[in-house]
Amino acid sequence: MESNLKSMSDLVSLCKRRGFIFQSSEVYGGLGSCWDYGPLGVELKNNVKNSWWKAMTYREDIEGVDASILMHPKVWKASGHIDGFTDPLIDCKICKSRFREDLIDTAAKCPNCGASDCFTPSREFNLMFKTQMGAVEDDSSEVFLRPETAQGIFVNFLNIQSTMRKKLPFGIAQIGKSFRNEITPGNFIFRTREFEQMEMQYFIKPGVQLEFMDTWKQLRWSWHVSNGLRESRMKWAPHPEDKLAHYADVAVDIEYEFPMGWGEIEGIHSRTDFDLKQHEEYSGKNLHYVDQADGNKKYIPYVVETAAGCDRTVLALLCDAYRVENEGDKEKERTVMKFSPQMAPIKVAVLPLMKKVGLEEVAKKIFQDVQIDYKAEYDVAGSIGKRYRRQDEIGTPFCVTIDYDSLEDQSVTVRNRDTMEQSRIAINQLHNYLKDQLKF
């Protein structure tokens, strides 16, 4: 019998206990909704980013970029973020709690203190973080932390199209931090004020956006599935027309069923020619494309974007992987993170049965060989049962145990995380065995 994650607090506690995610500045009492990725969390996050980068840029028609977080302030005027990137904010006059008006029922009581008829009128709150550039603090030095990575791509459209000699359709991909002063962050790393995005803008001829929406919808869905997310916990959520972002004419989200309910992990948006047109107008630079394949027609390309949250993808993978087997059975209960081998932070654990010179020498040599290809862990502390449980909890697909027989028969025991089956493998065949099992 196997059960899934029931509450986010169980995951938060595993993540802290096992070194995935810690509260930011914890020794100072933490900073609200800011989180630090520990040794295992950063491995998992890098696995997500590497998988995305490979899927999105190891192809002929997509190039990568890494743009600056701070951009010319006019970018945000042109993109519509200064005037339109707002949420409706209301306060409870009694307990002073703040809410997004669109997320609560204002006719009911305050979700925090229970008071009724207590809300201030709604006002628009801009979500961009402001800061100052240089030594002088005045309006002219005001800059913003980017609220989406997409604009770093739009302003580089011409640079990349011309230097890489790209013809439409082609895309530009980027992974990087974005910042939003969210009114109600929360649910662990689901909604934070500093987060990482993985975005790709695909530049196309006007009129073919629906066709490319379909292509990218399928590709992005399959990518999440290939990382191990169960399809039964994923769904499409089209944006209703009256809820579309200011730049989009069609948009759909991929949602995952988190313990707190369904939540967006990625958006696929048809952004028309909105952004490039705006940047052409505000910068005065000609951003038209000359289509040699269509009689040198000049036009501003349309864009289909795929916008995934790295932290939300990590959260979905953590929630999805979390299983408890034989719950309530003191002997047999175990918590296992059933990550796909590609996503697992540690691929192989090397465990000498005991802390003994002969065993440790062989084990250390195996560990050194294994870690040339795979992120591995060496652990000699505690009983072998406890060490297996720890590896189960961090989702290590294979444990290699070196026992006294290993010294005689030059073989080791390899334990499979999911089946708990143990196979005896010759040390000189271990590399091939792991390669075959891990499939990369």
Site for ligand GAP, rule CB under 6 A:
148, 150, 180, 182, 191-192, 195, 197, 199, 264-267, 305, 307-309, 311-312
Q: Which residue has the closest beta carbon to ligand GAP?
A: 309
Question: Whose Cβ is closer to ligand GAP: residue 313's or residue 396's?
Answer: 313
What CA–CA distances, in Å, run from 330 to 11, 63, 110, 149, 333? 20, 53, 42, 48, 6
Question: Could you tell me where the DSSP H helices lie in 169-304?
Answer: 209-226, 274-283
Question: Whose Cβ is closer to ligand GAP: residue 307's or residue 414's?
Answer: 307
Tell me how far, at minimum, the Cβ of 269 lies from ligand GAP, in Å.
6
Tell me how far, at minimum, the Cβ of 139 lies from ligand GAP, in Å.
27
Tell me how far, at minimum, the Cβ of 132 lies from ligand GAP, in Å.
23
- State the number of CA atoms in the 13 A half-sphere of 238 facing the CB: 7
Residues with Cβ within 8 Å of residue 308, at least 6 apart in sequence: 52, 197, 198, 199, 220, 265, 266
Question: Whose Cβ is closer to ligand GAP: residue 264's or residue 373's?
Answer: 264
Question: Whose Cβ is closer to ligand GAP: residue 82's or residue 380's?
Answer: 82
Tell me how far, at minimum, the Cβ of 258 lies from ligand GAP, in Å.
12
Distance (Å, whole) CA 266 – CA 48: 13
Tell me how far, at minimum, the Cβ of 329 lies from ligand GAP, in Å.
37
Question: Whose Cβ is closer to ligand GAP: residue 115's or residue 244's?
Answer: 244
Tell me how far, at minimum, the Cβ of 301 lies from ligand GAP, in Å.
16
The structure tokens listed for 117 are: 């008829």
Kindly report each contact of residues 259-264 with a partner whose C-beta sits within 8 Å and lies 24 or more positions away, as own/partner: 259/5, 259/6, 259/7, 259/8, 259/11, 259/319, 260/8, 260/187, 260/190, 262/235, 262/237, 263/187, 263/190, 263/312, 264/237, 264/309, 264/312
Question: Whose Cβ is closer to ligand GAP: residue 146's or residue 338's?
Answer: 146
Tell me how far, at minimum, the Cβ of 202 lies from ligand GAP, in Å.
13
Distance (Å, whole) CA 300 – CA 168: 11
Question: Whose Cβ is closer to ligand GAP: residue 180's or residue 387's?
Answer: 180
Distance (Å, whole) CA 404 – CA 388: 18
Distance (Å, whole) CA 145 – CA 178: 7
